[in-house]
Amino acid sequence: QREALLSTILDSNPDGLVVIDESGMIEFFSRAAERMFGYGAAEVIGRNVSMLMPEPYATAHDGYLRRYRDTGQRRIIGIGRVVAGRRKDGTTFPMDLQIGEANVPGKRCFTGFVRDLTDREDRDRRLAELQ
């Protein structure tokens, strides 16, 4: 019941939510994330979040997680960053990424809120052309 309510709330938000465990494995993938990346949740759960980004980030991402675990130094968590996302069809798009850290009893996981910036960048480009 509570879970149904929470997923309805999440699905009403245009931002996508991707939850990973400490090793980068995807544990939750919201409806908006499915639309944004073109993957169904069943296709990504249990796989590495690096599948959602282009190189060189994909290869480096495990190292980013390790660096954070070892140093505790936050570079995106609590700050946010515009990064490149990679869709199932291989195309890439600009997205705003906000990362949070959540401690579920016994383990740590990370919440990634993603917003597709494609429309905003198109609009900015058109605006710049007018000036």
- Residues near ligand HEM (CB under 6 A) are 18, 20, 49, 52-53, 57, 61, 64-65, 68, 74-77, 83-85, 97, 99, 110, 112
In terms of CB distance, is 56 or 126 closer to ligand HEM? 56
Q: Provide, rounded to whole angstroms, the least separation between the CB of residue 113 and ligand HEM.
A: 8
Residue placing its CB nearer to ligand HEM in the complex, 84 or 117: 84
Q: Which is nearer to ligand HEM, 39 or 68 (CB)?
A: 68
Q: Which of 10, 28, 8, 11 is nearest to 19 (CA)?
A: 28
Q: Cα angle vertex 55, ends 18, 31, to 5°?
A: 20
* Residue whose C-beta lies closest to ligand HEM: 112
Q: Can you tell me the distance from the alpha carbon of 6 to that of 122, in angstroms, rounded to the nearest whole number?
A: 33
State the DSSP code for 17: E
- Residue closer to ligand HEM by CB (options 72, 106) is 72
Q: In what order do the strands lie in the sheet with 81-86?
A: 26-29, 16-21, 107-116, 92-104, 81-86
Task: Give min distance, CB of 125 to ligand HEM, in A.
Answer: 21
